[in-house]
Structure 1
Amino acid sequence: MSATTIVLAEAHEIFRKGVRTLLDAETEFRIVGEVANGLEALEMVERQQPDVLILALRLPGLGGVDVTREVGRRSPHTQVLILSSYSDEAHVVQALKSGATGYLLKSSSAADLIEAVRTVAAGKRYLSPVLYERAIEAYIQFMEESDDTTLDRYETLTVREQEVLQLVAMGCTSEEIASLLGISSRTVEVHRRHVMQKLGLRNRAALIRFALRRGIIPLED
């Protein structure tokens, strides 16, 4: 079985050399190129046509997201593994949408690096364990909030609680709701808490999504 060919693109030399040392220790991998900026990464990938491009998000010349998009056009079979210190959802989603197969945090272990390269080389999605756990949690929360039984719970709300739900979802403050309904702000907070508990919602964003799905407030164009 031939070795998995790899191009490594990372601006920081010390970190890049460290990653290379780890990969060179594995006979199943072969580094065919090592670069420090985005434009060089594209040139190297186009020339070498590697199985995997290990790519930093922050690179001089051309950023990792743009490089990833171009790699998809110039070397479609090359799998891109993003290596980044950014763990927020925005960076991860942007990288994956641009065509990356995997996303590995720079704080990951050597074992995670090896597993990540093996996984993306096989054409399978890879996320750092901590990112995978977050994705699962977000999916579970989404499913809980999307559960049809949650919609049925709306019928358990009192008329006043339904009114408070609608006004909160519309963006009204507790003071504004109190004025509109002729009750105290404290009473509004009590109703709001009961609504959240009865519907099994965790925050205002979830409440708004529920209201949109239920048709309590219109979906703006």
Structure 2
Amino acid sequence: MRKISVVVADDHGLIRDGIQAMLKYEDSIEIVAEAENGLDATIQVEHHEPDVVLMDIMMPEMNGIEAMKKIKDTSPRSKIILMSMEISEEFISQALECGVSGYLPKDVRKATLISAIEKVNEGEEFFDPKVSEAIFRNYYKKKTKGPSAVTKGSGKISKREEEILSLVCNGMTNKEISDQLFISVRTVDSHKSHIMEKLGLKNTVDLIKFSIKNGFIEI
């Protein structure tokens, strides 16, 4: 099985060493390069074309947001997970606009980091629950007034889909949803696909924005 190639970018050697230690013995993941600033990150990514980039936001030479913009141009297949000591609504908003695939705090546990890398590599998004709350707040502030195209209970999506939509937007994984609703993970994934198809949405971030606009979740 081909390993997931990863580039780690952080200006603190201790953080890079810690991530190396956590992922060193993972059979499915291989760290192919490290970078100590944003500019170096863009160079390493262009050279290695990794599957996933774990990148700090506050770095010298070029910050993580600026580096991500350049990486999206030079290595569009590489998925980016931003990591930060603090959850900033401003940074999250900028990251979403640039097409970030994940956003994690730096105190994340090993199992969560591995899960994030694997899910992002598969084309999903992975946001820490604290980040999801910040996304809710950010888009709630920008919420447009007036009638919604689809409102809760409108019949556009089923009651079960409404339930799953609410759980997804509150940061629950497919496995957690399946356990709570006593259905299979595959069924959860199928419902999510149907929801996005019915509503013309592309990803989890779109689901979050839609849910806030149309009253499926409460802030």
- Residue identity in the other structure for 2:40: E
Shift of 1:75: 0.5
- Give aligned-pair identity as a percent: 29
- What is the rounded CA distance, in whole Å, between the counterparts of 2:8 and 2:111 in structure 1? 17
Give the match's secondary structure for 1:25.
Answer: coil
| C-alpha contact 1:96 1:102 (8 A) present in aligned 2 | no
Residue equivalent to 1:38:
38
Give the match's secondary structure for 2:71.
Answer: helix
- What is the rounded CA distance, in whole Å, between the counterparts of 1:37 and 1:136 in structure 2? 30
1:93-172 aligned at under 5 Å gives the runs 93-135=93-135
- Residues 1:59 and 2:59 are matched in the alignment: yes
| C-alpha contact 2:87 2:134 (8 A) present in aligned 1 | no
Residue equivalent to 1:11:
11
Cα 1:136/1:75, change in 2 over 3 Å: same
1:199-219 CA-to-partner distances (Å, cap 9, x unmatched) read xxxxxxxxxxxxxxxxxxxxx
- Residue identity in the other structure for 1:98: C
- What is the rounded CA distance, in whole Å, between the counterparts of 1:134 and 1:77 in structure 2? 27
Higher helix share: 1
Give the match's secondary structure for 2:33.
Answer: strand
| C-alpha contact 2:89 2:135 (8 A) present in aligned 1 | no
Residue equivalent to 1:74:
74
- What is the rounded CA distance, in whole Å, between the counterparts of 1:83 and 1:89 in structure 2? 13
Superposition misfits of 4+ residues, deviation over 4 angstroms: 136-143, 145-148
- Residue identity in the other structure for 1:95: A
Shift of 1:140: 8.2
| C-alpha contact 2:89 2:134 (8 A) present in aligned 1 | no
Residue equivalent to 2:172:
none
1:103-154 CA-to-partner distances (Å, cap 9, x unmatched) read 11112222221111112111211111222245457778998x8677xxxxxx
Give the match's secondary structure for 2:32.
Answer: strand
> When the two structures are aligned, how many residues end up with a matched partner?
148
Cα 1:67/1:147, change in 2 over 3 Å: same
Residue equivalent to 1:161:
none
- Residue identity in the other structure for 1:11: D
Residue equivalent to 1:163:
none
| C-alpha contact 1:56 1:82 (8 A) present in aligned 2 | yes
Pick 1 or 2: higher relative contact order, CA cutoff 8 A, min separation 6. Answer: 2
Q: Which TM-score applies when normalising by structure 2?
A: 0.61
The gaps in structure 2 that reach 5 residues or longer are 149-219
- Residue identity in the other structure for 1:14: L
Residue equivalent to 2:49:
49
> RMSD of the TM alignment (CA)?
2.3
Give the match's secondary structure for 1:111.
Answer: helix
Give the match's secondary structure for 2:83.
Answer: strand
Cα 1:142/1:110, change in 2 over 3 Å: same
- What is the rounded CA distance, in whole Å, between the counterparts of 1:110 and 1:44 in structure 2? 24
- Residue identity in the other structure for 1:132: S
Cα 1:38/1:146, change in 2 over 3 Å: same
The gaps in structure 1 that reach 5 residues or longer are 149-221
| C-alpha contact 1:6 1:54 (8 A) present in aligned 2 | yes
